[in-house]
Chains A and B, each alone.
Chain A
Amino acid sequence: MATITTKIPVTLSKDEILRYSRHLIMPEVGMEGQQKLKAARVLCIGTGGLGSPLALYLAAAGVGTLGLVDFDVVDYTNLQRQIIHSTADVGRKKLDSAADKLTGINPFLNLRKFDTRLSSENALEIFRDFDIIADGTDNFPTRYLVNDACVLTGKPNVYGSIFRFEGQASVFATEDGPCYRCLYPEPPPPGLVPSCAEGGVLGILPGLVGVMQATEVIKLILGVGEPLIGRLLLIDALGMKFRELKLRKNPDCPVCGTHPTVTKLIDYNEFCGIRGEEKPVANGVPEIQVEELKRRLDAKEDLFVLDVREPHEYQICNIGGHLIPLNDLPNRVSELDSSREIVVHCKMGGRSAKAVAFLQQAGFKKVHNLAGGINAWAERVDPKVPKY
């Protein structure tokens, strides 16, 4: 089992003994365990949905050194689940906002802030001073980067991931356990990952999964219980069902197998098929800007606006387009008149680009993608339309 052995002797002050008394009277923690917690150095990647409860509980529990990596600022849409940030923090750096809350909870905390995007250039350097890495990121390139850097530096990767009302948790990259690549050797191709925020997430779910990650971190530090090594926990918040799958260390794993082919950090955007920051799906389809659409609609030109979002998104806001969700389009294409000029939109332009490509294949000649979707319309044409 992966135990974090501490070499530095630490002592607890009178104030700390009082603060951690509910830990100290438990034989599973005790003075020795609390000293281990104080000596431990945990790095949280991201202070978002997963990172919020994770960092809050680790700080409260008495983890001595907590590192935070984030480059983002607090956004209004974060507040539904990123509970370390308050309404007053909107616009502030997430690092500063998180630091206030964490040191407010526990002034004994040694907090280390890394105001940067984790990258192949800085990951090994940042990981060096930590014992355990907790992955609270939200994208595939960083997931693979964190995993590989954990394997290369020999540090456990406490993993949590969420989608809508479903979560996954595990502990990867311990000495004998499997790593993330043993589970998923390859990321999904970028064409299959829509750039529009179609997903959504139940606000409490990252709380549930982030607290599970915190629990695993604490267990690894204390060396107690059975960590989620070699096990993938599946969480279905809607059914409130937990299932567990066995994970095996893959001897052919490119990073932790017997003959690794990945021996240093690579370009993870390239590995995940993402080039730079551009949206991968919007290429090649004719686009129209929101200002031009507005001008042409005002001029009463014959334009048919097709909205390919989901009905529940249409309820949030719409610009009067004809609603056919992207997935229904193949069955409902007969509702459209190919002789008319059609402007297709979604939330941000990703799904509508697919719809335009599909309609072009179906023989439509005059179809345009609304660049930036209804969110761009809300931002640049009509501020009364809510952004989401």
Chain B
Amino acid sequence: MLKPMSKIHIPTPLRQYVGKQSTVEVKAATVGEALSALLVQHPELRRHLYTEEGKLRAFVNLYVNDEDIRYLQKEATEVKEGDNISIVPSIAGGAESSPFS
């Protein structure tokens, strides 16, 4: 079966790891698969999204369209053709701080 194409919105602090793109298109059936596909294309991103134990970092929120996946099926949340997945990190600024190294 062909997997649906969705768009992942990359926040400013992470764009440097995805070739300065603001969105990346992936083929995936779930949010988890979409992130895996993103990390295959851009492996450097992994340590910024996941802890060393492989858990999604607590200050990184994920949304499918306008819904927080914590209130859906988390990383098993289905994505449909044309869905927008957003990575939304906490930002504190101000001018001086980025949550990502």
A residues contacting B by CB (< 8 A) are: 48-49, 81, 137-140, 143, 161-166, 168, 183-188, 191-194, 197-201, 232, 234, 236, 238-239, 243-248, 326-327, 351, 354
Contact = CB atoms under 8 A, between A and B. Distances in A.
B96 A138 contact: yes
A184 B11 CA distance: 16
Which 5 A-B residue pairs are closest in the complex by CB-CB distance?
A138-B94, A188-B99, A186-B58, A163-B91, A166-B12
Contacts of A327: 16-17, 44
Interface stretch (B24-32, B33-41, B66-74, B75-83): B66-74
Given A239-B22, A327-B16, A186 B88 contact: no
12 contacts: A138-B96, A163-B91, A163-B97, A168-B88, A168-B91, A188-B59, A199-B13, A199-B95, A200-B95, A201-B94, A234-B86, A243-B9
B92 A139 contact: yes
Given A192-B101, A326-B101, 7 more contacts: A48-B94, A163-B93, A164-B13, A188-B57, A193-B97, A197-B96, A234-B86
Contacts of B11: 166
A137 B94 contact: yes
Nearest to B13: A163
Nearest to A331: B44
Nearest to B67: A246
A315 B13 CA distance: 21
Interface in B35-67: 44, 57-59, 61, 63, 66-67
Contacts of B95: 49, 81, 138, 197, 199-201
A199 B93 contact: yes
Nearest to A80: B95
Contacts of B17: 327
A194 B97 CA distance: 7
Nearest to B59: A188
A248 B71 contact: yes
A138 B95 CA distance: 7
A162 B90 CA distance: 10
Contacts of B99: 188, 192-193
A81 B93 CA distance: 13
Contacts of A232: 88
Contact of B66 (A185, A194, A244, A354): A244
Nearest to A165: B12
